Amino acid sequence: QVQLVESGGGLVQAGGSLRLSCAASGRTFSSYAMGWFRQAPGKEREFVAAISWSGGSTYYADSVKGRFTISRDNVKNTVYLQMNSLKPEDTAVYCCAAARGFAQAMATLYVDYWGQGTQVTVSS
């Protein structure tokens, strides 16, 4: 069992930055690949970024590539999402996710555990 708690969301102006954190409970955190997803009002949840269990592999949605960076600290049981050059279209609830495999961490259908989410609002 893995419990995930996100933090770091808030209101920021376009062009600004935020860093989201996702703290995981449980001793098996390092065995899971982790992902970030987001859901804007009236839209489906979409994949943002994923990182392998070791941190050696990462993958990003085209919409955030070059602006967002995913990382993890397996000692602190935490995964991060550094978001730079934020745009109003990045406004959404951001959720972290844990999955058994790197590819599975990119697909909502195969995620094993979800956090509750943190709101990110980018004003123009």
Among 13, 29, 28, 36, residue whose Cα is nearest residue 91: 13
Contact (Cβ atoms closer than 8 angstroms) between residue 71 and residue 10: no
pLDDT of residue 43: 96
Element (H, E) at 20: strand 18-24
Handedness of CA 124, 60, 46, 73 (dihedral sign): negative
pLDDT of residue 26: 78
SS3 at position 59 = strand
pLDDT of residue 59: 98
Rounded CA gap, 105 and 59, in Å? 10
Contact (Cβ atoms closer than 8 angstroms) between residue 122 and residue 86: yes
pLDDT of residue 30: 87
Strand partners, 94: 38, 118
Max CA distance (Å), the chain: 41
pLDDT of residue 5: 97
Rounded CA gap, 106 and 15, in Å? 26
SS3 at position 70 = strand
Q: What is the C-alpha end-to-end distance of the chain, expressed in Å?
A: 40
Which stretches in the chain have pLDDT values below 50? none
